[in-house]
Amino acid sequence: MSARARGTSVRDALDGAVTAIAAAGCQTPRLDAEVLLAHVLGVARERLLLDRELVVAGSAVRAFQDAVRRRAVQREPVAYIVGRRGFRRLDLAVDPRALVPRPESELLVERALALDRGIAVLDVGTGSGAVALALKDERPDLTVSGSDISDDALDLARANAQRLVLDVRWLRADLLAGLPDEFDAVLANLPYVAESDRARLAPEILRHEPPGALFAGADGLDAIRALLAQLSVRQRVAFVALEVGAGQAAEVAGLARASGYATVECVHDLAGVERVVTAERVRP
C-alpha cells in the first residue's frame, strides 16, 4: 500500500497546520490545530497523542485542509469551525448568531451559585444561552430565564436548551423593556467594547462575531448604563452581576451605587482583570 493510500501521520498533519496557523498570527496555533484535527477525525484530542496507528486519510485530508484554511486565512474562530464550545460543565453549540462563550463569563455563574434557593434569575443578553443554561444545570432549584434582542441568538439558545434538556425560559427584549417585574437577580454579559477600540480587536472577533454583541458606544458602557438605569426602578432585583471590560469596573461600580445598590464588589478573573461587578441591595 502506498504512503498516499495509508494517509498522512497525525504528527505531520499537525506540524503543517501549526505552521500555517502560526504564520497567520493566531495566538494558540498548536491548540487550534489539535482541536480542528480531533474534530475532523471524530476523536478526543488525547487520542491524537496516544494512538500511534491514527492517520489522516481519505475525506479527512480535505476536511482538515479546509478547517485550517478557515482558521489561518479567514481567521474564523475555532469554535465556529467545529460548531461547539465547552462552558462550565456544558458542551454548547455555537455559531455566528452569538458570541463565542468565554471562560471569563463563567464568573457570572460562579457568583450566582450562592443565590437563595428558588428565586427567579434573568440572564440579559443571553446569546448562545451559556450563562443561563450553566446556572440552571448547577442550580436546578432556580427559576432561570434568558433574554436577548436577537431572534437568531434566541433560536440558538433554545436549541442548546432542548439538546441539553434544561428548563430555561427564553424572552425577546431590549434589556428589560417590556419584561415583567418578576426577577430577583439579573446576570448580564452585555456589549462593552468602545467604538474607539474597534481596530484593536483580533480579526476572528471583528470579522466573525456579531457586532451588536460587541460594541456599546463611545466608552463601551451604553448598554450597561441603560440596564442599570432600568434596574434603579426595579426594586425586586436585589442582586446583579455584570461582566465588564478591562478598566471599566470602577465606573460600573459607581453606576451600580447610583442605581441603589449599596454593596458593590469587583471580581477579578484569572488574568487579574476586574471582570465582573456584583451589586446587592436590601429588598423593600
Name the phi and psi angles at 9, rounded to 5: -65, 150
Q: What is the residue range of 38's domain?
A: 3-74
Same-domain status, 28 and 140? no
Q: What is the distance between the alpha carbons of residues 106 and 281, in angstroms, rounded to a whole number? A: 23
**Residue 151 forms part of a structural domain:** yes
**Residue 246 forms part of a structural domain:** yes
Q: Are 98 and 127 in contact (CB under 8 A)?
A: yes
Which parts of the chain have pLDDT scores under 50?
A: 1-5
Same-domain status, 195 and 272? yes
Name the phi and psi angles at 156, rounded to 5: -65, -45
SS3 226: helix
The per-type count for the chain, helices as H runs and strands as E runs, is 12, 11
Q: How many CB atoms lie within 10 A of CB 23?
A: 10
Q: What is the pTM of this model?
A: 0.91
Q: What is the distance between the alpha carbons of residues 2 and 71, in angstroms, rounded to a whole number? A: 30
Mean pLDDT of the chain: 94
- The predicted structure's pLDDT at residue 51: 87
**Residue 179 forms part of a structural domain:** yes
Same-domain status, 56 and 128? no
- The predicted structure's pLDDT at residue 67: 97
The number of residues in the chain equals 284
- Sign of the alpha-carbon torsion through 91, 269, 148, 133: positive
Q: Are 73 and 207 in contact (CB under 8 A)?
A: no
- The last residue of one of the domains, among 17, 40, 74, is 74
- The predicted structure's pLDDT at residue 192: 96
Same-domain status, 168 and 240? yes
Same-domain status, 70 and 105? no
Same-domain status, 138 and 29? no
Q: Which residues pair with 240 in a beta bridge?
A: 186, 279
Same-domain status, 136 and 219? yes
Residue linked to cell 444561552: 129
- The predicted structure's pLDDT at residue 126: 98
The three grid cell numbers given for residue 272, joined into one nine-digit string? 487579574
Q: What is the distance between the alpha carbons of residues 209 and 64, in angstroms, rounded to a whole number? A: 22
Report the run of H or E that residue 95 belongs to, with start and end. Answer: none
- The predicted structure's pLDDT at residue 284: 59
Domain count, the chain: 2
